[in-house]
Amino acid sequence: MRILFIGDIVGEPGRRAVRKLVPDLRSRHQLDWVIANGENSAGGSGITPDTASEIYASGVDVITSGDHLWDQKEVVKLLENERRFVRPLNYPAGTPGQGSALYEVPGKGMIGVINAQGRAFMAALDSPFLAVRAEVHRLREHTPVIFLDFHAEATAEKIGMGRLLDGAVSAVIGTHTHVQTADEQIFPGGTAFLCDAGFTGPHESVIGREIDPVLRRFLTCQPQRFTVARERVLLQGAIIEVDDASGHARSIVRVSEPLPDAAKP
């Protein structure tokens, strides 16, 4: 099974990159499944049913989320009605939505997708380590192919999660920092790992936002309106090839695909 994971989609430029580039990536790399983190897809903060529909129509099979889950009130419709949308697993019991799901990949069998959120320098949700370990045990009754989007700030927390799950899941890919790391590897037990997939959107920016307002905030400590930037749009993420029978990763390759300048709205 060949899986493309797309790092945090930021605003309209990020959605445009997905729309323009994913069909070609699916064909060129013979992809079987595409997962994307969409938590910043609506105006750079949060997600709505409309932005989710645009992402699905572009060739994405499942959307994951993170700490900006609640930034758009319309997200409740996704949580209640869209089985292709996965929010962090480690929210308290009774939170709307699902933290994991099983999907049938045509011709390849089942895949389990989990989303979890870290706690270091982030909101104090339930322990992602305990929640994910229990969920992996449950999903492995159905499939050995399991993918985790771990939305976390601290590199040590992400690496710790990867080491905890080595051999039990196919891939642990980090999101949230919007800076693609160069530590892609396959751990000894067969789990592919990347500390951060990067982000899909404008890279002539400060992690997707216009540069000047961010600098003014740093210089003055005064509130600023952080608008989504526009230039040098990249689709970032990773392609993981997984053995269907064992669930072990065979390879992991980072993706950083530029959107051609001609590809305007």
Q: How does pLDDT run across 132-152, given as a tens digit for each residue?
A: 999 999 999 999 999 999 999
Catalytic residue among 68, 178, 203, 248: 68
Q: Answer yes or no: is 192 within a domain.
A: yes
Total domains in the fold of the chain: 1
The yes-or-no answer on residue 178 being catalytic is no
Can you spell out the DSSP letters for 144-170?
S-EEEEEE-S-HHHHHHHHHHHBTTBS
- 261, two tokens: 């300048």
Residues 6+ apart with CB under 8 A from 181: 155, 174, 194, 195, 196, 198
pLDDT at 262: 45
Which residues in 126-147 are b (16+ Cβ under 10 Å) and which e? bebbebbeebbeebeeebbbbb
- Confidence class of residue 265 from pLDDT cuts 50, 70 and 90? low
What's the pLDDT tens digit per position in 173-225? 999 999 999 999 999 999 999 999 999 999 999 999 999 999 999 999 999 99
- Confidence class of residue 261 from pLDDT cuts 50, 70 and 90? confident
Read off the CATH number of the domain in which 233 is found. Answer: 3.60.21.10
C-alpha distances out from residue 255 to 47, 202, 264, Å: 23, 15, 21
Model pTM?
Answer: 0.96
Q: CB-based burial of residue 234 (10 Å sphere; 0-12 exposed, 13-18 middle, 19+ buried)? A: buried
**For residue 156, how many other CB atoms are within 10 A of its CB?**
11
- 67, two tokens: 């700490």
Segments forming the whole domain that contains residue 40:
2-258
CB–CB of 125/228 below 8 Å?
no
Q: Answer yes or no: is 264 within a domain.
A: no
Q: Answer yes or no: is 37 within a domain.
A: yes
Q: Answer yes or no: is 119 within a domain.
A: yes
Q: Answer yes or no: is 170 within a domain.
A: yes
CB–CB of 98/131 below 8 Å?
no
Q: CA 77, CA 99: separation in Å to the nearest integer?
A: 15
